[in-house]
Amino acid sequence: MDYPGRVIKQGEQDAALVRALKRQLNEALALRPGGEGLQPLDQSNPNLGPAMKQAVRLFQARHVDAQGRPLKADGEIGAITWSVLFRQLSAPSPQASGDALLSKVLQIAGAECKRGVREIPPNSNRGPDVEKYLARVGLGGGYPWCCAFVYWCFDEAAQAMHRANPMLRTAGCLAHWQGATTHGARRITRSQALANPGLIQPGMIFIMDFGGGAGHTGLVERVGGGLIETIEGNTDASKTREGGGVYRLTRKLLDINKGFIDYGGL
């Protein structure tokens, strides 16, 4: 059964979907009549009520995602819980952008990651590679550079294809979020992405907001099972906004608290 592209929660109106989920939960939790604890869910009842929500939370408390991380026990079935429940840990999804420019952007970003770009010295926001990214947005060394890295990748791709760079020229993640639409880009909010993960495609740019004007950004390389695989600058395995290199990381879709920017088709 395919994920319906939205979060399934108490009050769900699709009777067939609810019945299918109840069957799967009864099997996954080994619920039997007369057993101790939670009783089997009534598969003839098409309502997603408190008992089913409790079963979902129990399932989430007992399972981890494809990366070995505990599921969020909120009683709601998003893409990650769905993929674990239906054992679709490698849910099919686009692995390459259908847009030529975005494909080239990802190719260039991947090459920088493979080269092992790092700050020199560590934790300095400096170094030959870091400073070439910052220079492309008009800054010298010493500044946070995650957005400058994304812009540099877009600029290199555009130059290679002998076309204009559609991306807003900025080193500010939140400034990019605010101004991207003036360059024709489409914004997808966090709530839109969670309601329909299929909106998120390789080549899009994610934006995170940490408050106080601080943000972080990077490129979406792959999507699946409620997770996004990314290529990011100014980060590391800790997934912070002040890491010291270009890395491939895996993040939960729900952790992208601002949204996504799409320059596809421009």
Please say if the pLDDT value at position 240 is more than 70: no
What total number of domains does the chain contain? Answer: 2
149 and 119 in a common domain: yes
Distances (CA, A) of 3 to 45, 84, 103, 164: 21, 11, 26, 38
Q: How far apart are alpha carbons 115 and 233 in whole angstroms?
A: 13
- In this prediction, residue 50 has a pLDDT band, given cuts at 50, 70 and 90, of very high
Q: What is the pLDDT of residue 93?
A: 45
223 and 164 in a common domain: yes
139 and 67 in a common domain: no
- In this prediction, residue 95 has a pLDDT band, given cuts at 50, 70 and 90, of low
Q: What is the pLDDT of residue 237?
A: 62
256 and 142 in a common domain: yes
Return the beta strands (E) in 30-86 as ranges: none
Higher per-residue pLDDT: 88 or 59: 59
Q: What is the pLDDT of residue 89?
A: 45
Please say if the pLDDT value at position 243 is more than 70: no
Interstrand relation of 186-189 and 205-211 (parallel, antiparallel or unpaired): unpaired
Q: What is the pLDDT of residue 119?
A: 93
- Pick from 61, 85, 109: which residue ends a domain? 85
148 and 59 in a common domain: no
Range of the domain at 243: 100-262
Q: What is the DSSP letter of 118?
A: B
- In this prediction, residue 91 has a pLDDT band, given cuts at 50, 70 and 90, of very low
Most confident range (mean pLDDT) of 6-20, 158-172, 228-242, 246-260 is 158-172
- Pick from 62, 85, 108: which residue ends a domain? 85
Q: What is the DSSP letter of 70?
A: B
- What average pLDDT does the chain have? 89
Residues sharing a CB contact under 8 Å with residue 87, sequence separation 6 or more, in sequence order: none
pLDDT in tens, 165-215: 999 999 999 999 999 999 999 999 999 998 888 899 999 999 999 999 999
Q: How far apart are alpha carbons 95 and 62 in whole angstroms?
A: 30
To which H or E segment does residue 227 belong?
strand 227-235
**Across residues 132-155, what is the average pLDDT?**
97
Q: Which of 181, 156, 170, 148 has the alpha carbon at shortest distance from 101?
A: 156
Q: CB–CB of 201/97 below 8 Å?
A: yes
125 and 65 in a common domain: no
Q: CB–CB of 79/253 below 8 Å?
A: yes
- Pick from 60, 85, 110: which residue ends a domain? 85
Q: What is the pLDDT of residue 69?
A: 77
113 and 46 in a common domain: no
The verdict on pTM exceeding 0.85 is: no
Please say if the pLDDT value at position 65 is more than 80: no
Q: What is the pLDDT of residue 252?
A: 87
Distances (CA, A) of 142 to 133, 138, 261: 11, 13, 26
Q: Identify the CATH number of the domain in which residue 212 sits.
A: 3.90.1720.10
244 and 123 in a common domain: yes
Residue 55 lies in a domain: yes
Neighbouring CB atoms inside 10 A of 138's CB total 10
141 and 215 in a common domain: yes
185 and 63 in a common domain: no
pLDDT in tens, 25-44: 998 887 878 766 788 999 99
Residues sharing a CB contact under 8 Å with residue 200, sequence separation 6 or more, in sequence order: 188, 193, 220, 223, 228, 253, 260
63 and 180 in a common domain: no
Lowest mean pLDDT across 17-21, 73-77, 88-92, 223-227 = 88-92
